Protein backbone atom coordinates (compact mmCIF):
# COMPACT_ATOMS: atom_id res chain seq x y z
CA UNK A 1 0.00 0.00 0.00
CA UNK A 2 1.23 3.49 -0.91
CA UNK A 3 0.06 7.08 -0.51
CA UNK A 4 0.81 8.45 -3.97
CA UNK A 5 3.25 10.99 -2.52
CA UNK A 6 6.41 10.50 -4.56
CA UNK A 7 9.49 10.45 -2.32
CA UNK A 8 12.18 10.92 -4.95
CA UNK A 9 12.95 10.54 -8.64
CA UNK A 10 15.32 7.68 -9.41
CA UNK A 11 17.28 6.79 -12.53
CA UNK A 12 17.24 3.52 -14.46
CA UNK A 13 20.94 2.71 -14.54
CA UNK A 14 20.64 -0.65 -16.32
CA UNK A 15 18.15 -3.12 -17.77
CA UNK A 16 18.68 -6.82 -18.38
CA UNK A 17 16.44 -9.72 -19.46
CA UNK A 18 15.24 -12.17 -16.85
CA UNK A 19 15.69 -15.90 -17.20
CA UNK A 20 12.35 -17.24 -18.39
CA UNK A 21 12.73 -20.41 -16.32
CA UNK A 22 12.88 -18.29 -13.18
CA UNK A 23 10.36 -15.55 -13.96
CA UNK A 24 7.81 -17.70 -15.79
CA UNK A 25 8.45 -15.70 -18.95
CA UNK A 26 10.92 -13.26 -20.36
CA UNK A 27 10.67 -10.23 -18.13
CA UNK A 28 13.16 -7.49 -17.33
CA UNK A 29 15.38 -6.71 -14.37
CA UNK A 30 15.70 -2.99 -13.60
CA UNK A 31 18.51 -1.44 -11.60
CA UNK A 32 17.48 1.90 -10.08
CA UNK A 33 20.03 4.42 -8.79
CA UNK A 34 19.81 7.99 -7.41
CA UNK A 35 17.65 6.48 -4.67
CA UNK A 36 19.53 7.25 -1.44
CA UNK A 37 16.48 9.05 -0.05
CA UNK A 38 14.31 5.96 0.00
CA UNK A 39 17.12 3.89 1.52
CA UNK A 40 17.05 6.04 4.66
CA UNK A 41 15.60 4.08 7.52
CA UNK A 42 16.60 0.76 6.02
CA UNK A 43 15.74 -1.48 3.09
CA UNK A 44 15.46 -5.27 2.88
CA UNK A 45 15.10 -7.94 0.26
CA UNK A 46 11.43 -8.48 -0.51
CA UNK A 47 10.43 -4.89 0.29
CA UNK A 48 7.81 -3.29 -1.94
CA UNK A 49 8.70 -0.11 -3.80
CA UNK A 50 6.45 1.78 -6.18
CA UNK A 51 8.27 2.44 -9.46
CA UNK A 52 6.20 4.77 -11.64
CA UNK A 53 3.16 3.63 -9.69
CA UNK A 54 3.88 -0.09 -10.10
CA UNK A 55 4.40 -2.14 -6.94
CA UNK A 56 7.64 -4.09 -7.42
CA UNK A 57 9.76 -6.29 -5.14
CA UNK A 58 13.37 -5.55 -4.22
CA UNK A 59 15.55 -8.49 -5.32
CA UNK A 60 19.02 -6.96 -4.75
CA UNK A 61 20.31 -3.72 -3.29
CA UNK A 62 23.32 -1.73 -2.16
CA UNK A 63 23.42 1.21 0.23
CA UNK A 64 26.85 2.56 -0.81
CA UNK A 65 26.48 3.47 -3.58
CA UNK A 66 22.69 3.43 -3.34
CA UNK A 67 20.88 1.23 -5.87
CA UNK A 68 18.31 -1.56 -5.93
CA UNK A 69 17.05 -4.12 -8.41
CA UNK A 70 13.48 -5.18 -9.18
CA UNK A 71 12.11 -7.79 -11.55
CA UNK A 72 9.35 -6.81 -13.98
CA UNK A 73 7.20 -9.68 -15.27
CA UNK A 74 5.96 -9.83 -18.90
CA UNK A 75 2.37 -9.07 -17.81
CA UNK A 76 3.58 -5.94 -16.04
CA UNK A 77 5.51 -4.84 -19.12
CA UNK A 78 2.34 -5.21 -21.19
CA UNK A 79 0.06 -3.38 -18.78
CA UNK A 80 2.33 -0.47 -17.81
CA UNK A 81 4.79 1.99 -19.33
CA UNK A 82 7.75 0.22 -17.73
CA UNK A 83 8.39 -1.57 -21.03
CA UNK A 84 9.35 1.76 -22.61
CA UNK A 85 12.05 2.53 -20.03
CA UNK A 86 15.65 2.79 -21.25
CA UNK A 87 18.95 3.39 -19.53
CA UNK A 88 18.83 6.89 -18.09
CA UNK A 89 15.02 7.03 -17.78
CA UNK A 90 13.69 8.83 -14.71
CA UNK A 91 11.11 7.10 -12.49
CA UNK A 92 8.96 8.10 -9.53
CA UNK A 93 9.77 6.16 -6.35
CA UNK A 94 7.83 5.60 -3.13
CA UNK A 95 8.27 3.05 -0.36
CA UNK A 96 5.31 1.15 1.08
CA UNK A 97 3.53 3.01 3.87
CA UNK A 98 4.11 2.44 7.57
CA UNK A 99 1.35 2.46 10.18
CA UNK A 100 2.65 5.86 11.31
CA UNK A 101 2.66 7.42 7.83
CA UNK A 102 0.50 10.49 7.29
CA UNK A 103 -1.99 9.82 4.49
CA UNK A 104 -1.40 13.03 2.55
CA UNK A 105 -2.44 11.40 -0.73
CA UNK A 106 -4.90 8.50 -0.98
CA UNK A 107 -4.85 4.70 -0.75
CA UNK A 108 -2.73 3.53 -3.69
CA UNK A 109 -2.19 -0.18 -4.33
CA UNK A 110 0.51 0.01 -6.97
CA UNK A 111 -1.67 -2.06 -9.31
CA UNK A 112 -1.77 -0.24 -12.63
CA UNK A 113 -5.17 -0.41 -14.38
CA UNK A 114 -4.08 0.94 -17.76
CA UNK A 115 -1.82 3.45 -19.46
CA UNK A 116 -3.00 6.79 -20.79
CA UNK A 117 -1.57 8.87 -23.62
CA UNK A 118 -0.91 12.56 -23.03
CA UNK A 119 -3.04 14.29 -25.68
CA UNK A 120 -2.70 17.82 -24.32
CA UNK A 121 -0.28 19.81 -22.17
CA UNK A 122 -1.31 23.39 -21.48
CA UNK A 123 0.32 26.01 -19.20
CA UNK A 124 -2.06 27.71 -16.75
CA UNK A 125 -0.05 30.39 -14.98
CA UNK A 126 2.79 28.46 -13.35
CA UNK A 127 0.71 25.26 -13.37
CA UNK A 128 0.39 22.67 -16.13
CA UNK A 129 -2.86 21.03 -17.26
CA UNK A 130 -2.52 17.55 -18.76
CA UNK A 131 -5.27 15.97 -20.85
CA UNK A 132 -5.04 12.17 -20.86
CA UNK A 133 -6.73 9.48 -22.93
CA UNK A 134 -6.71 6.01 -21.33
CA UNK A 135 -6.06 2.95 -23.50
CA UNK A 136 -8.93 1.09 -21.81
CA UNK A 137 -11.82 3.55 -21.95
CA UNK A 138 -13.79 1.52 -19.39
CA UNK A 139 -11.74 2.97 -16.52
CA UNK A 140 -13.36 6.36 -17.12
CA UNK A 141 -16.48 5.22 -15.30
CA UNK A 142 -14.40 5.38 -12.11
CA UNK A 143 -12.78 8.75 -12.91
CA UNK A 144 -14.80 11.64 -11.49
CA UNK A 145 -14.16 15.36 -11.29
CA UNK A 146 -12.44 16.27 -8.00
CA UNK A 147 -11.78 12.59 -7.38
CA UNK A 148 -8.42 10.87 -7.02
CA UNK A 149 -6.33 9.23 -9.73
CA UNK A 150 -2.76 7.94 -9.60
CA UNK A 151 -0.45 8.83 -12.50
CA UNK A 152 3.00 7.21 -12.54
CA UNK A 153 2.59 6.71 -8.80
CA UNK A 154 1.60 10.31 -7.98
CA UNK A 155 -1.74 10.99 -6.27
CA UNK A 156 -3.48 13.74 -8.24
CA UNK A 157 -6.90 15.40 -8.36
CA UNK A 158 -9.05 15.10 -11.47
CA UNK A 159 -10.03 18.55 -12.76
CA UNK A 160 -12.21 17.56 -15.73
CA UNK A 161 -13.67 14.45 -17.39
CA UNK A 162 -15.24 13.94 -20.81
CA UNK A 163 -16.80 10.48 -21.01
CA UNK A 164 -18.04 11.01 -24.56
CA UNK A 165 -14.62 11.93 -25.97
CA UNK A 166 -12.77 9.58 -23.62
CA UNK A 167 -10.37 11.84 -21.73
CA UNK A 168 -9.74 13.39 -18.32
CA UNK A 169 -7.53 16.20 -17.05
CA UNK A 170 -5.28 16.83 -14.07
CA UNK A 171 -3.26 19.87 -13.04
CA UNK A 172 0.30 19.95 -11.74
CA UNK A 173 1.17 22.91 -9.54
CA UNK A 174 4.70 24.34 -9.71
CA UNK A 175 5.86 22.44 -6.60
CA UNK A 176 4.63 19.07 -7.90
CA UNK A 177 6.24 19.65 -11.29
CA UNK A 178 9.64 19.53 -9.59
CA UNK A 179 8.85 16.29 -7.73
CA UNK A 180 7.42 13.96 -10.41
CA UNK A 181 8.51 12.67 -13.82
CA UNK A 182 5.17 13.46 -15.48
CA UNK A 183 5.89 17.18 -15.82
CA UNK A 184 8.75 16.46 -18.24
CA UNK A 185 6.68 14.20 -20.49
CA UNK A 186 5.51 15.43 -23.88
CA UNK A 187 2.29 14.99 -25.84
CA UNK A 188 2.20 11.43 -27.16
CA UNK A 189 4.01 9.86 -24.22
CA UNK A 190 2.22 7.54 -21.79
CA UNK A 191 1.63 7.48 -18.04
CA UNK A 192 0.58 4.62 -15.77
CA UNK A 193 -2.94 5.01 -14.40
CA UNK A 194 -4.40 3.52 -11.24
CA UNK A 195 -7.96 4.53 -10.48
CA UNK A 196 -9.23 4.93 -6.93
CA UNK A 197 -9.92 1.45 -5.54
CA UNK A 198 -12.95 2.83 -3.64
CA UNK A 199 -14.79 3.28 -6.95
CA UNK A 200 -14.12 -0.33 -7.93
CA UNK A 201 -15.33 -1.61 -4.58
CA UNK A 202 -18.51 0.49 -4.73
CA UNK A 203 -19.28 -0.70 -8.26
CA UNK A 204 -18.85 -4.37 -7.35
CA UNK A 205 -20.96 -3.93 -4.22
CA UNK A 206 -23.78 -2.25 -6.15
CA UNK A 207 -23.71 -4.91 -8.87
CA UNK A 208 -23.75 -7.65 -6.22
CA UNK A 209 -26.72 -6.03 -4.49
CA UNK A 210 -28.67 -5.66 -7.72
CA UNK A 211 -27.90 -9.22 -8.78
CA UNK A 212 -29.19 -10.44 -5.42
CA UNK A 213 -32.43 -8.50 -5.71
CA UNK A 214 -33.34 -8.57 -9.41
CA UNK A 215 -31.07 -11.29 -10.82
CA UNK A 216 -27.90 -11.35 -12.87
CA UNK A 217 -29.68 -10.65 -16.15
CA UNK A 218 -31.29 -7.39 -15.06
CA UNK A 219 -28.53 -5.95 -12.87
CA UNK A 220 -26.12 -4.83 -15.62
CA UNK A 221 -28.94 -3.20 -17.59
CA UNK A 222 -30.18 -1.19 -14.60
CA UNK A 223 -26.66 -0.15 -13.63
CA UNK A 224 -25.97 0.90 -17.22
CA UNK A 225 -29.13 3.02 -17.25
CA UNK A 226 -28.16 4.70 -13.98
CA UNK A 227 -24.66 5.53 -15.24
CA UNK A 228 -26.03 6.62 -18.61
CA UNK A 229 -28.49 8.99 -16.96
CA UNK A 230 -25.74 10.58 -14.87
CA UNK A 231 -23.53 11.04 -17.95
CA UNK A 232 -26.42 12.58 -19.92
CA UNK A 233 -27.17 15.03 -17.12
CA UNK A 234 -23.53 16.09 -16.96
CA UNK A 235 -23.38 16.58 -20.73
CA UNK A 236 -26.57 18.68 -20.70
CA UNK A 237 -25.19 20.82 -17.90
CA UNK A 238 -21.99 21.45 -19.88
CA UNK A 239 -23.96 22.43 -22.99
CA UNK A 240 -25.91 25.13 -21.14
Domains present along the chain, CATH in parentheses:
8-95 (2.40.30.20), 114-195 (2.40.30.20), 199-239 (no CATH)
Tens of pLDDT, residue by residue over 144-173, are 899 889 999 999 999 999 999 999 999 999
Higher pLDDT, 170 or 236: 170
Residue in 215, 196, 124 with CA at minimum distance from that of residue 157: 196
Q: What is the pLDDT of residue 224?
A: 66
- Cis? peptide before 65, omega within 30° of 0: yes
DSSP state of 183: G
Is residue 139 pLDDT above 80, yes or no? yes
Q: Any idea what DSSP says for residue 80?
A: S
Residue range 172-186: mean pLDDT, rounded: 95
pLDDT of amino acid 98: 78
- pTM of the model as a whole: 0.81
* Averaged pLDDT of the chain: 86
| Residues designated as active site | 2, 48, 55, 57, 73, 111, 157
Contact 80, 54 (CB under 8 A): yes
What's the mean pLDDT in 68-84? Answer: 93
Determine the angle formed by the axes of helices 218-239 and 197-214, rounding to 10 degrees.
130
Amino acid sequence: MFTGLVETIGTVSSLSPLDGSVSGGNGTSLTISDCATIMEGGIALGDSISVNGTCLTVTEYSTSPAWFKVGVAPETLRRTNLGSLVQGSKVNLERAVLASTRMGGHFVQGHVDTVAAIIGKTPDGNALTFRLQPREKGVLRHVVEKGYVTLDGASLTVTAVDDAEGWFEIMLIAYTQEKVVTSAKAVGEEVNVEIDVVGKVVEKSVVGYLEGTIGKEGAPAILEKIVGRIVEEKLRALQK
